[in-house]
């Protein structure tokens, strides 16, 4: 996935005041731009939207194995969330990733792409499933904020 700015990523970490000293972090990039819960990523309907989730392990021991799943949904702001989006959002490739292990001071990058077929506000829920008997994944990896994506009509160049 070209065009991703490695130095421009949002980080969800154990303690926002001590990002450089945290045991773990998750960086999320949508369509080449860093995302967090306060930023709305924008894309065009019908265009492939690159998604990258980078997991960094700053602890003294390896973590894993585990899996990561990206689940799109719409939030109607009235308490109703729609996860039945098969006709509105599709993944190019898989929405699930298996990570054997992340070594100390290492990272693992899960990269894929989404295709939005209709306009609207969508959210991505990134879920971790710990497959390790020791349950060694950092707690912050289990409570990531949702990523907000707004799919808009493409601008017609002939107009």
Closest CA to 44 of 126, 99, 98, 115: 115
**CATH code of the domain made up of 23-152:** 2.60.40.3880
Confidence of residue 22 (pLDDT cuts 50, 70, 90): low
- The confidence score (pLDDT) of residue 12 equals 41
CA gyration radius for the chain? Answer: 16
**Checking phi first, is residue 19 left (phi over 0); if not, alpha (psi -120 to 50) or beta?**
alpha
**Residues sharing a CB contact under 8 Å with residue 112, sequence separation 6 or more, in sequence order:** 50, 51, 70, 91, 92, 93, 94, 95, 97
Q: How do residues 113-139 score in pLDDT, each as one tens digit? A: 999 999 999 999 998 887 666 666 777
Q: How many CA atoms lie within 13 A of 157 on its CB side?
A: 0
- The pLDDT assigned to 145 comes to 83
Contact yes or no for 126/28 (Cβ under 8 A): yes
The model's pLDDT over 61-101, given as tens digits with 9 standing for 90+, comes to 888 888 899 999 998 888 888 888 888 899 998 999 998 88
CB atoms within 10 A of CB 123: 15
CA dihedral sign of residues 6, 11, 14, 20 = positive
Domain ranges of the chain: 23-152
Looking at every residue in the chain, the average pLDDT score rounds to 80
User: 109 vs 51, 68, 132, CA distance in Å?
Assistant: 10, 11, 19
Give the pTM: 0.76
How high is the pLDDT of residue 130?
A: 78
Kindly tell me if the per-residue pLDDT of 16 is higher than 80: no
Q: Do the Cβ atoms of 75 and 134 come closer than 8 Å?
A: no
* 22-33 mean pLDDT: 82
Helix (H, G, I), strand (E, B) or coil at 96: strand
How confident is the model at residue 110, as a pLDDT?
Answer: 93
């Amino acid at each position: 996935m070209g065009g991703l700015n490695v130095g421009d990523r949002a980080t969800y970490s154990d303690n926002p005041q001590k990002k450089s000293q945290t045991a773990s972090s998750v960086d999320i990039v949508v369509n080449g731009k860093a995302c967090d819960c306060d930023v709305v990523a924008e894309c065009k309907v019908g265009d492939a939207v690159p998604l990258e989730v980078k997991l960094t392990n700053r602890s003294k021991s390896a973590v894993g194995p585990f899996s990561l799943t990206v689940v799109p949904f719409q939030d109607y702001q009235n308490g109703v969330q729609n996860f039945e989006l098969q006709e509105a959002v599709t993944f190019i490739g898989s929405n699930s990733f298996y990570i054997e292990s992340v070594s100390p001071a290492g990272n693992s990058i899960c990269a894929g792409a989404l295709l939005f077929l209709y306009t609207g506000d969508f959210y991505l829920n990134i879920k971790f499933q710990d497959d390790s008997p020791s349950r060694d994944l950092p707690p912050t990896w289990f409570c990531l904020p949702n990523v907000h994506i707004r799919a808009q009509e493409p601008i017609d160049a002939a107009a």
